[in-house]
Every structure is written in structure tokens, then in C-alpha cells.
Structure 1
Amino acid sequence: MPQASKTAEKTNGSGDRQHVIEDYIPLVKYLAHRISMKLPNHVEIDDLVNSGIIGLIDAIEKFDPGRGIKFKTYAEFRIRGAIFDGLRSLDWVPRSVRKQKKMVEQSYAQLEQQLGRHATDEELCRDLGVGLEEFYKILDNLKGVSLGKFVELNNNDSQGGEGESAIAFIPDRSTDDPYHKFQKHELTEILSEAIRRLPDKERYVVSLYYFDELTMKEIGTVLNITESRVSQLHTKSMIRLREALKSYVERRFQ
């Protein structure tokens, strides 16, 4: 969308803004669709699209070409953030699922601290007191709760400690500060090392989904496993990565 980007950089009136919105609606729908694939069926994609449009409008109003990033990159960041904000405001996750999430995260953290390595599914099942099939059902219930969201420490616009992924880090004005440059580098290194330490299949899922932008179904074809299994691997990888970054935050700011 090169023309749309040029238009956005020169937006100075309602007519120009409407033109940019129309040009970028396909991007909003694409991002909403990708996010919806990791959510329960009862979450309406139209709600995600509406939230995404709010993010797009916000991007148009706040975009500053002087920051050295492309409008499309900045718009995608804002659209995703608005969709996630909309999901949080809907409080679509049942309390029972939140409880399951906390239980699984605590079990992962405790076992991996004791073992000095990633816990296997069988070890998790023993610690949780459930069978393998029930464990996989729990993972299916957690689908979409993590949403691949990692801790973002250097985005002044984020609130509540959850922001965009360090993989897709968007610099702000504070990055001119050597401290923030160091912090960004340190955070990226922590995340990169955590990804490298993931079990093979989970690492492949993260790589194919976030870097190669394959769908869950396409990843299943590549790895010769079901789409449901890909989703479970994605959920486990997000739990492990969040725990790694959580440990970093605790060490860094305590």
C-alpha cells in the first residue's frame, strides 16, 4: 500500500483522512481475522474490526513521519493495540479460564525452576493432577488468552504492563536515551534466548507464525500435525515466553 502510506504522511484534512481509512480497511480486516483465529468462536470478528478502525484513526491522528518509521508499520501497531484493548474491555475470558491459566503458568514456573529445563506435558499433567487429554483441553480453553502478547517496557502509550511484542518493537522518542536503547537491546536478547530455548516444535510454531506469518492451518501442514495441535503448541510457547519475560521484569525492577 505505498500510495496509502504517502497519503497518510501528508494527511491534513478530513478528506485525506477518509481516503487513508478506506485504503487501510483491508489491513484492519486482515489483522482482525488473524487475531480472531486464536479466539473462542463467540467473539465476533466485527467487534475486532470496529476496534481496529478506532486504532487506525488514532494512528492517522498521531503519526509523526519524523520518528523514522513507515505509516503502515505504525498503523499496524496501533490497530493491533486497539483490538487487544477492545478485547480486554469486553472481559470475554471466563473466570474459570483465568483460573486455569494462572494454575498452568504457576505449574510451568515451579517445575522448570526445580528441573532446570522445560517441563514435558507428562510432567505438567502429574503436577496438575490431570490426564494428558484433559491437559490438552485446558490448553484449548486458554486459546486466545495469551494472544502472543509479551511484556513491552518501552512504549509510553501502553497501560497496565501489557503492550506490543518486542518482536515488533516500535521505537518512541525515548529511544534517543542511551538507557532506553540498552533496555530495548536487553529485552530483545532475553526474548531471543527464550525463543531459542523453546522445545523444537514450539520454536518452529513461533517462527512460522510470527516471522513467516503462516496461519495455524498452514503451520499444521508444514509440521504434519493438526491445526488444534498447532494451537496448543502456540499456547504453551506463549506461557513459557511470558514467564521468561516476567522473570526479567522482576529481576530488573525489584
Structure 2
Amino acid sequence: MSEQKGSHLNHIELWIQWKEHGDVEAKKRLIENHLGTVEYVSSRLAIGLPKNVSKDDLMSNGVMGLIDAIEKFDYKRGLQFETYASWRVRGAILDGLRQGDWVPRSVREKARKIEDAYQQLEQKYMRSVSDAEISNFLDVSEREFQTMLQDVAVMSITSLEDPIREEESETRMSLIVDEKAKNPDRSVNDFVLKDLLMKGIEKLTEKERTVVSLLYYEDLSLSEIAEVMSLSPSRISQLHSKAILRLRGALDKQRGLLMQDM
């Protein structure tokens, strides 16, 4: 009987039944209604992941994130649940990937070396540095540097999802999500990080900015971006990797400064 009643409830009525009356059937309907978000986020994150990473595993972790979002969401605040849920789902999937340690240590080391190179050189010259300058700093040929970028591309899709502070779950990109009851100091730090991210994007090359914009703001896949920009998917992957490593270097530097001030 309750299942039949739940099937006729509209969106807000489902939230009321679940949050105010603990109606489990209403909760099940909310989960069913938003499984598309899990499918979408899983498909996006699956791009570039190793073949041994099962999409079913991504979906399973994503569903757990969706359930967590439904349990914690405050419908009375008038926020878009889809936006809130997508970040919870994404976070749950990434947590699962991190626990699985699917990125080889050698790849992580390459990414860290490139990130450090961008951070040191761009701080030294106060401008975006070229591939030749990075290659020279790393003591590798430009061809070897391009290969390194291709190797680390597999982990760069999650780079902006790493925690801002190691002991916390908030990510760099999640700064755009409206969280409840932040303290003033935290709000100031978040504003600084947002501002730094914007400045970092401005310092990217035109092609790197385009890739970041199309991927994170226009919501296109890497293959779609390759078609739009008339470049190969591997080239788009390299541009994305360079952009993310530049941004990581800038954000990590600011994180260190913020931690010193706390």
C-alpha cells in the first residue's frame, strides 16, 4: 500500500514523506528517481580509467554516495538536490578508487615531479612555462615529457577532487557547492582558494583553458572536446594533464600558506 502511495507522490512530497515521516518507500523512490545522476557521474569518471576498473564498481560506490546525499540533504533550504547529489556521488566513487589504489606508484611519482616542476618554474618566472622549459628542468626530451603526460593522464581526471586539506573531505572543485554553517575563517580560506583557482586558470595557455572550460563547465567528454577542437583524444588528454598539474601546483602552494596561518 505504501509503495503504491509513494508512486503517486511528487518530488517535494517524497522529500516530506522521507524527512518528516521517515517513509522508507519515499526514500526508495528518491533513490530510483536519481539513479541517472549515478550513471552520468560514473560514465564521466570512467573516461581514461584503466580497463581493470569496473564501471559496476563505480556505480556501486556512486549509489552509496547517492544514499548518503539523500540522508543528509536539507530540502527546506531550496537548493538543487541534483547538484548536491552529484558531488556526493562523485566523492564516493573517488573514495572507492583511492581505497583500491588503482594508480601505480610510478605514475604518482611522475605526476608529482611534473607538478613540482610547474610550481617552481612558474613561481620563478611569474608566467606560464613552455614544454621545452619543463623538459629541460626534468632533464628529459620533449618527446619523453609528452609520454610522461600521457602516463599521468589516467589520474588527472581526479586531481581536482583530491582533498584541499589531507585531514578533511572537502575537495578543490567542491568549493562551488553551498555548504551550511561555515565559520568565518573557513569562508575566507575558501574565497582565497576560489580566487587562486580563477587566477590559475587565467595563466593557462589558450588551449588548456579551453579544455578545462569545456570539460568542467560545459560538461563535455574528452572525446567530444577532441572533436570540437579538431585534435586527437591523446592531445586533449595531454592538454588536460598539463592544465591540472599547473593548477595543482598553484593550489598546493596556497594550501601550504593557509596551513601556516592557521
Classify the TM-score, shorter chain: 0.7 to 0.9
Alpha-carbon spacing, 1:231–1:5, altered in 2? closer, same or farther (3 Å): farther
Deviation at 1:151, TM superposition (A): 6.1
Deviation by residue 1:164-214 (Cα, 9 ceiling, x = unmatched): 344662232233x44343333222111111111111111111111111111
Q: Trace 1:1-254 onto structure 2 (pairs within 5 A).
A: 4=11, 7-8=14-15, 10-11=17-18, 12-146=22-156, 147-149=158-160, 160-161=167-168, 163-166=170-173, 169-175=176-182, 177-254=183-260
Whichever residue aligns with residue 223 of structure 2, its letter is K
Contact 2:15 2:75 (8 Å CA) reproduced: no
- The whole-number CA distance in structure 2 between the counterparts of 1:8 and 1:232 is 43
Alpha-carbon spacing, 1:167–1:53, altered in 2? closer, same or farther (3 Å): closer
Deviation at 1:236, TM superposition (A): 0.9
- The whole-number CA distance in structure 2 between the counterparts of 1:149 and 1:49 is 20
Contact 2:69 2:85 (8 Å CA) reproduced: yes
More deviation in 166-175 or 72-81? 166-175
Whichever residue aligns with residue 201 of structure 2, its letter is I
More deviation in 178-187 or 133-142? 178-187
More deviation in 118-127 or 128-137? 128-137
Deviation at 1:152, TM superposition (A): 5.7
Contact 2:202 2:209 (8 Å CA) reproduced: yes
Alpha-carbon spacing, 1:119–1:65, altered in 2? closer, same or farther (3 Å): same
Unaligned runs of 5+ in 2: 1-9
Contact 1:74 1:170 (8 Å CA) reproduced: yes
- The whole-number CA distance in structure 2 between the counterparts of 1:66 and 1:190 is 32
Partner SS, residue 102 of structure 1: helix
- The whole-number CA distance in structure 1 between the counterparts of 2:163 and 2:80 is 20
Identity %: 36
Aligned residues: 247
Contact 2:163 2:169 (8 Å CA) reproduced: yes
- The whole-number CA distance in structure 1 between the counterparts of 2:124 and 2:12 is 51
Unaligned runs of 5+ in 1: none
Give me the TM-score of the superposition, normalised by structure 2.
0.85
- The whole-number CA distance in structure 2 between the counterparts of 1:51 and 1:121 is 37
Deviation by residue 1:201-238 (Cα, 9 ceiling, x = unmatched): 11111111111111111211222211111111111111
Partner SS, residue 155 of structure 2: coil
Give me the TM-score of the superposition, normalised by structure 1.
0.88
Partner SS, residue 154 of structure 2: coil
Deviation at 1:54, TM superposition (A): 0.5
Deviation by residue 1:94-141 (Cα, 9 ceiling, x = unmatched): 111111112111222222223222221111112222222222221121
- The whole-number CA distance in structure 1 between the counterparts of 2:166 and 2:122 is 30
Deviation by residue 1:68-93 (Cα, 9 ceiling, x = unmatched): 42221111111000001000000001
More deviation in 199-208 or 68-77? 68-77
